[in-house]
Amino acid sequence: MSRIDDVFNKSKAKALIAYVTVGYPSLEQTERVVPLLAESGCDIVELGIPFSDPLADGATIQQASFCALQNGITIKSCIELVKRLRQEISIPIVFMTYFNPVFNYGIENFCHDSAVVGVNGIIIPDLPPDESSELEIISYARGIDLIYLLAPTSTQERIQMVTRRSRGFIYLVSITGTTGARDNLTTDLDELIARVKRMTSKPVCVGFGISTPQQARQVARLADGVIVGSQIIQLMLAEQDLTSVRSFVKKLRQALNRAQSD
């Protein structure tokens, strides 16, 4: 059983997963915010390894990735960051990136170095399961969960493949398009979540577009967890002491706790 599995097996609470881009607005700020996220109620943290062409990401995360690359962030610096963070936090850490930087670093090297410092999962939006057998085998051998994504447009065949092969949890994209805070979620999201959950007993976590505690509570009534990124990244610029981030994440945690009894 992986550390990510433990999040869902040891607690009946809905999982709160936060995303931040490593190196935005600075590496030092990333290193400050991750322990704060854990303290404020996050169960898992996704660390985005910046890439020059983040196709799945909206304007906020694209800008964050561009800034992080300008700050000199590399896979190596992300791995070194996790090593330091592991001295402070014990919750699961997941890398989210694209296949090109992983391929250039070397799949075996990437999985080995990530496992050594305590990375628990990998999400690669542009690598579908029917093209990821090498990474799947190597990551599994290193004890790292390879987490696949499903979208509203996913076929029945793709849903069956992802629910069978995804480990840790299934990342369900709430909308067709890119990441980013939105005023409203799609009206048929409940039906989409229910359709996926009918086909698997694995946890289903929903991301893309969740930006308020009310939206998080709505999603968590059916899903096993919610993933929030763009709104956190925007709030990280509000104050150096990250007061707004702390307050927002605590409100998300409270909303998910209420969803448990809805």
57 among known catalytic residues: yes
Cis peptide leading into residue 50 (ω within 30°): no
Per-residue tens of pLDDT for the chain, all 262 residues: 799 999 999 877 899 999 999 999 999 999 999 999 999 999 999 999 999 887 766 788 889 999 999 999 999 999 999 999 999 999 999 999 999 999 999 999 999 999 999 999 999 999 999 999 999 999 999 999 999 999 999 999 999 999 999 999 999 998 754 444 444 555 588 899 999 999 999 999 999 889 999 999 999 999 999 999 999 999 998 788 999 999 999 999 999 999 988 7
Contact assessment for residue 56 and residue 96, using Cβ atoms and an 8 Å cutoff: no
Nearby residues of 28 by Cβ (< 8 Å), 6 or more positions away: none
Contact assessment for residue 230 and residue 211, using Cβ atoms and an 8 Å cutoff: yes
Helices (H) and strands (E) in the chain, counts: 12, 9
pLDDT in tens, 111-157: 999 999 999 999 999 999 999 999 999 999 999 999 999 999 999 99
Q: Name the catalytic one among 57, 113, 145, 224.
A: 57
Type and span of the H or E element at 15: strand 15-21
Q: Directed axis angle between helix 75-85 and helix 107-117, to 10°?
A: 20
Q: Is the pTM of this model over 0.75?
A: yes
- Residue corresponding to tokens 């629910």: 163
46 among known catalytic residues: yes
User: What sign does the CA torsion over 67, 18, 155, 137 have?
Assistant: positive
**Distance from the Cα of residue 23 to its chain's centroid:** 16
Type and span of the H or E element at 260: helix 243-260
CATH no. of 3-8+15-256:
3.20.20.70
Q: Name the catalytic one among 5, 6, 31, 46.
A: 46
